[in-house]
Amino acid sequence: MRNVNRFGYELFSDPILNKGTAFTEAERDAFALHGLLPPHIATLDQQVERRMTAFRNLQDDLARYIFLRGLQDINETLYYALLTRHLEEMLPIVYTPTVGLGCQRFSHIYRRPRGLYLSLPYRDQIAKILSQPRFDDVQTIVVTDGERILGLGDLGAGGMGIPIGKLALYTAAGGIDPSRTLPITLDVGTDNQALRDDPLYIGWRHERVRGAEYEEFVEAFVSAVEARWPHVLLQWEDFAGPNASRFLDRYRDRLCTFNDDIQGTAAVVCGTLLSALSAARQDLRDQTVVMVGSGGAGSGIAGLLVKAMVEAGIPEEEARRRFYLTGSRGLLVEGSNRLQPYQVPFAQPRSRVADWTVENREAIGLEEVIRHARPTMLIGVSGQAGLFSEAVVREMAKHVDRPVIFPLSNPTSQSEAVPADLMAWTGGRAVIGTGSPFAPVSVGGVQKRVDQVNNAYIFPGLGLGIVTAKARRVTDTLFLTAARTLAEMSPSRLDPNAPLLPPVSALREVSAKIALAVALQAHREGLAPDFDVDNAERLIAEAIWEPQYKTYHRAA
């Protein structure tokens, strides 16, 4: 039961409160809705059926994306009922790969405000903008500056589609109350000339601001968030690599914050790789990893896997030497002046490659790394389509019975390899995970599902656990806990031929278990001292928001 002080058209305009045709006769009397609605009184189930029929009748995924965004802006309960009941079908639309196209077309499909656009010319008004009473209960924020949207580059204000999509999954998969979420875009201009020339572009028409002015703007934003919501969970999303790593290092010990591209990706990859090792009947302590793409995401994955290896008994320095990270100029090697600070720990000593037969010792290529390092795992976060060539994959398959190959770049057009090719080049022996959805592949005449290593397996449950326990910080240990919990739910633990990940339809169950594990770990680390561990399961269950209509009464 809920007291409501809006009526008539004003009630319809609030997507959190709107029920559409599901307003009861008594509610239509109380809120002056007669005549504004047809006489039929629908149930939520009927509304879901009607919207699902309309959704499936649309001709392409962009139209479906626009349809769902429109529904979200009209009736959030119905929107999330649709998502939670059909999550496997909806996930590729509300997030990768279709969200990328939605961001590219964002200015052309823009209809009504959602979230906040904090533009640099109005930097002096950030605190005032955040102070609006409608944001009093916010507990989860996703923020982007639109510079590195998926593998699509600088999309400026159009990057808002990413925070909107991420928060939709926080609710649909994790059960976080949508009224307590807030998507934010830091609009500091764009270097995408086509956008600045587009008369329909909704963002600030200015070259992307960098340097001290940019840093001061981000600091002003973080300071305003700290003052407004001391206990909020702030997620950084799709910032350019150096900025992403720098802001994470700068703010992770100052407020409850994390970067999903770096840490969330690392956790889901780590969890899926642990599942892959179980399927391949291999031990983590025996792995050698080639990471193609040495930015924040690649270094983050390597860092979390090193932590897992250390916990498995390998000395840290030895664990780091198991990783061969490659970038646009080849293998990362010690002494190079082009290394970012977060790459330095993974640069191979020159003595390790001194006896390698290579064309250019200052730019050792991927196939050369594969031939000499003989990895058991090949992971791609490069954003370069087709980088895992037939020659590369066949070379790897010469040296390992069950090569673990994860082309993780998205959207689909940026994937380092196509799963069907990987299976063909390895004689069906590869253990595969992808960043984008792919059709099943045929292995020995049997259709096998391709696991999408999607961050949605991690961040919704992680977020739910953090906000429920009221954790003060987000540590790497919490991500490793989430990864291990995900691995424990892998179907391949019982059947090596089964998928590595639970089905997307089980994401709410996955998120609840991760939330519980994360909340308990946060308490053990002293990050959530007031969390009632004796009632942890009940508290997590009670925190999960369900898309159901409540009965409304007119507020006095």
Q: Pick the catalytic residue: 19, 166, 307, 513?
A: 166
pLDDT of residue 42: 98
Q: How far apart are CA 56 and CA 78, in angstroms?
A: 16
Which residue type sits at 471? Answer: A
Give the DSSP letter string of 369-404.
HHHHH--SEEEE-S--TT-S-HHHHHHHHTS-SS-E
Domain that holds residue 20: 2-42
pLDDT of residue 525: 97
Residue 410 counted as an annotated binding residue: yes
34 inside domain: yes
For 236, 409, 494, 499, 547, the CA distances from 426, given in Å and listed in that order, are 37, 21, 24, 18, 45
Residue 5 counted as an annotated binding residue: no
426 inside domain: no
Strands of the sheet containing 233-236, edge to edge, are 116-119, 181-187, 140-144, 233-236, 257-259
pTM, to two decimals: 0.94
22 inside domain: yes
36 inside domain: yes
Q: How far apart are CA 193 and CA 183, in angstroms?
A: 25
- 145: Cβ contacts below 8 Å, ≥ 6 apart: 159, 185, 186, 187, 188, 218, 238, 239, 243
Residue 261 counted as an annotated binding residue: yes
Residue 10 counted as an annotated binding residue: no
pLDDT of residue 20: 97
pLDDT of residue 125: 97
Token pair recorded at residue 248: 């994470």
Q: How far apart are CA 432 and CA 403, in angstroms?
A: 9
Q: How far apart are CA 392 and CA 368, in angstroms?
A: 9
Residues in the chain: 556
pLDDT of residue 79: 98
pLDDT of residue 96: 86
- Partner residues linked to 182 by β-bridges: 141
Instruction: List per-block mean pLDDT (blocks of 10 residues) for the chain, which spans 556 residues.
Output: 90 95 96 96 98 97 98 98 97 93 97 95 97 96 96 95 98 98 98 98 98 98 97 96 93 97 95 90 92 91 95 94 92 86 91 91 93 96 94 96 93 91 95 92 89 96 98 97 96 89 96 98 98 98 98 88
214 inside domain: no
The H helix count followed by the E strand count for the chain is 24, 16
- Determine whether 550 is an active site residue: no
Angle between helices 61-74 and 44-57 (to 10 degrees): 150
Q: Residue 111: which of 38, 202, 173 has the closest Cα?
A: 202
220 inside domain: no
38 inside domain: yes
pLDDT of residue 390: 97
Q: Pick the catalytic residue: 95, 170, 324, 457?
A: 95
Give the DSSP letter string of 497-534.
TS-SS--GGGHHHHHHHHHHHHHHHHHHTTS-TT--GG
Domain count, the chain: 1
pLDDT of residue 295: 87
Residue 508 counted as an annotated binding residue: no
- Determine whether 110 is an active site residue: no
29 inside domain: yes
- Answer yes or no: are the C-beta atoms of 516 and 537 closer than 8 Å: yes
Q: Which domain CATH number covers 30?
A: 1.20.1370.30
pLDDT of residue 507: 97
Residue 495 counted as an annotated binding residue: no
